Structure 1
Amino acid sequence: MNKIKLFTMGFTKKNAETFFEKLKKFGAVKLIDIRLNNVSQLAGFTKKDDLIYFLKKICTCDYMHEPLLAPTKEILDAYKKKEITWAEYEKRFNDLLISRKAHTLLSVSELHMACLLCSEPTPDKCHRRLVAEFFKRSFEDIEIIHL
């Protein structure tokens, strides 16, 4: 198999047109929602039920929610309240992925042309980047593309 392409994208600071057009342009076949809460009013067009509908109608893209790839509320809150640094957040979250055996949650074929979704507008201080990098360490030949 050629190199596995794994996309990541946050929805914040994107309108629906930009969001769905990026998925179409890059040919994503599945969106893997790795948010802890995917039904919040703040999620706008990415609330679970709406997102499932839009993905099918606009992109012919499947949807999957995998909350085991999200941080715990405790880790997230500690970072947001500045009780821990980003470096500590990364360490705790990576330890969490290991303890949850995250590499067994999805197969390489399920990751190919899939997009990890969270809310952060950029991947630098976002758990989607950490999840993508975890999979890249766990499997061979994964190319991460942040949309």
Structure 2
Amino acid sequence: MSVLFTVGYEGTDIDRFVRTLKAAGVRQLADVRAVAVSRKAGFSKKKLAERLADEGIRYIHFVSLGDPKPGREAARAGEYDRFRLIYGAHIRTDDAQSALMELTETVQVASTCLLCFERDPETCHRTIVAHEVSEKTGFDIFNLFADDPDRYVRNAAKLPRFHLGESLTAA
């Protein structure tokens, strides 16, 4: 079974973040933030894309899969049911569905990780996106935590791996 990774960059720095991606064998990063600007050094779109390119990791931004402002506000306020309702409606829009189709095709090419800010995948829309992709591809979902990349280095043999061409659509 192949895998789709997810990661948030809350609580980490760019160096540990990149080491985590590399330890997991990620070849492309799918940014699913609506606004790819960050106050954290190295995580705004242009700087992040440049750093990842230097590391041999492709960067792709799927802006239409980002959480709209009311959803982000609900999540920030801890109103997760409201956040899920807002994002659930958003992901059914034509733009989001088109981006979801493109993302689904993209993840089948190389080991991919979905990116957003929140460390906890349970309170982030990237988990909803990952489940949508998983339903279409049959990929397992594996949540990375970028604050301690050494855990993935130490346990590299136990990490799930991407297998080119292995999905329900390829079968």
TM range (shorter): 0.7 to 0.9
Closer, same or farther: CA 107–124 of 1 in aligned 2, 3 Å: closer
Closer, same or farther: CA 15–107 of 1 in aligned 2, 3 Å: same
Whether contact under 8 Å (2:13, 2:41) holds in the other structure is: no
Q: Deviations over 1:100-135 (max 9, x none)?
A: 315323234x11411111111121101111110121
Q: Shift of the alpha carbon at 1:140? A: 3.4
* Equivalent residue, structure 2, for 1:55: 52
- The Cα RMSD (Å) is 1.7
Question: SS at the partner of 2:140?
Answer: strand
Sequence identity percentage = 26
TM-score (norm: length of structure 1)? 0.84
Question: SS at the partner of 1:131?
Answer: helix
Rounded to whole Å, the distance in 1 between the matches of 2:47 and 2:100 is 28
Segments of structure 1 that go 5 or more residues without pairing to the other structure are none
* Equivalent residue, structure 1, for 2:140: 143
Q: Which letter does structure 1 place at the counterpart of 2:80?
A: W
* Equivalent residue, structure 2, for 1:130: 128
* Equivalent residue, structure 2, for 1:80: 76
Rounded to whole Å, the distance in 1 between the matches of 2:75 and 2:123 is 11
Question: SS at the partner of 2:103?
Answer: coil
TM-score (norm: length of structure 2)? 0.73
Rounded to whole Å, the distance in 2 between the matches of 1:12 and 1:144 is 19
Runs ≥4 in structure 1, deviation > 4 angstroms? none
Q: Shift of the alpha carbon at 1:81? A: 4.3
Segments of structure 2 that go 5 or more residues without pairing to the other structure are 145-171
* Equivalent residue, structure 1, for 2:147: none
Rounded to whole Å, the distance in 2 between the matches of 1:64 and 1:34 is 9
